[in-house]
Structure 1
Amino acid sequence: MNLRFLETFVWVARLKSFRLTAEKLFSTQASISSRIAALEDELGTRLFLRDSKGVSLTPEGQKVLEYAERMIDTMQALKQSISDTGNIQGRIRVGAMDTVIHTWLSPFVTKIMERYPGVEIELTADTARNLCEQLQKGYLDIIFQTDMVHGDSVRNLELGSFPVQWIVPTGSLYHRRYASIDELAKERIITFSKNSRPHQDILNLLHAGNVCAPRISCVNSVAAMTRLIRDGFGIGALPAALVSEELKQGVLTLLEGVPQPPSLGVVATWRNGVGLELSEDIIALACEALYEYGEQMGEAMLALAIPGTEQKTA
């Protein structure tokens, strides 16, 4: 039995799409269809049902899937036992929200390149909501964003959280003491994109403080948000880690004495299963990179969710 055809079958079952499987395996839909047809002929049974809603497994296909995953898992284990990481080829598609990109993404990517020099890294920057949708549709293998994702063959790991604080230009008209959250909310607030987790958290915080109709400017770019805050457009509500250099230089200042917004959590979500062992290794490298970044920045900038001893994966 052709293991390549079995791998194709597993991916079609996982992604529920011939088109997405073709993209994943660098092939064409015609080739994918041909492999599945050949496998169905060899087994003497239909493996998939195709209708206007997409592709689904037949009862026989479900049974075949269990055996196919075991066979491919065994083959992957064999290959890994006789090769080192430097010889591994492939592509890993990683998606990350802006906060990750502007903090620990670079050292993370460096670790991937050092450990797997033959692996192509495809990076996507987007909002948490869009990243979750792309993962579920099969366009991404790993994402780093704010929320747990529920679905078949999907795993989540809470990595940590970035404390979100009120940030103002040093010496500006916003750089003063506020008696309450209500008084602070009379100024313009600058934060992340509309309906994002930070935006919703700030709305909830203001609602709890009986603040009505606040002036909130939602910006989907960390660079743009930082520039607006520096230029005195309003009071920023974002992780201090994103403006650590500006804080060190004294250009920006943290406001104290008023309730702070909830922290911004970071969750790693990835597809797992047969043929996706590389994703597990990449997650281990992400944990290692984030731990080192947290040690460097301190708890005021990043609160780790998992002990450092679990991050040091060889």
Structure 2
Amino acid sequence: MRIDAHHHLWDLSAVDYPWLMERGARRFFGDPTPIQRDYLIEEFRAEAAAQGFAGSVHIQVGAADGWAEARWVQGVADANPDCPLAQVVFCDLTSDGLSAQLDRFQTLASVRGVRQILGRAPGEDAVTGTNALLADPRFLAGVQEAGRRGLSFDLQLIPELMARTARVLQEAPGTQVALCHAGSPHDRSADGLARWAEQLKALSALPHVTCKLSGLGMFQHDWTQQDFAPIVATCLEQFGPERCMFGSNFPVDSLYSDYAALARAMRELVPQAAHQLVFGGTAQGFYRLI
């Protein structure tokens, strides 16, 4: 089964997404205006199924109320039993009420993991202070607790944080970690990619970390297939196909290309012998999709 391991859905009448609906805002990934509309399972399935994808993983996407988003996604999963759908929810791992939050999330059958973003882009992180999570001992304790419950952790960060993050995650070997967007290599110069590849080694050396080939257009909007080639090759070399999985990051990456063009580029960049794992097998095992 082909699986898209990283995408979003939203119904703007059902769940509030403040970041998405802020008028006139320009984010690190560009102008969100074209995606300030409903993006529902029917549209996603049409795009994904045309490329052979039958299952998927919904990743939390900054809802004002993470529980409301999770319940809505569960409703989508229940209404589409022929389309295996797992979800990764938002949870503040430093919260005093963490256990109660996780108890509630785990009443939803589709929940497989949690995500709390460490880094999006250097400029935005400098304003939000997101990176401070790494220095909070409650964050490590929260990652460890997720693993004890059989939940994974989706890790979004920038290359500058990889070494520090690896030191934290080596203390949580029981928690499976999915590195979102190949670690967000935001500097696409030759030197920038070389630094990213070197920093990535700190995470790829941890056997419980898996890498998502996703979101690669967010820092290079006018991308060509060749632009992605060194990133895909490095991830496959460091993690191996058994620890790499494809994700479209739609509808965010729809700002830069259509689904067919993205899927085609990734299929051509990933060696044929690795297709079964990268486009399905790795995600199927990681997120327990059947």
Q: TM-score range by the shorter chain?
A: under 0.3
Structure 1 or 2: more strand by fraction:
1
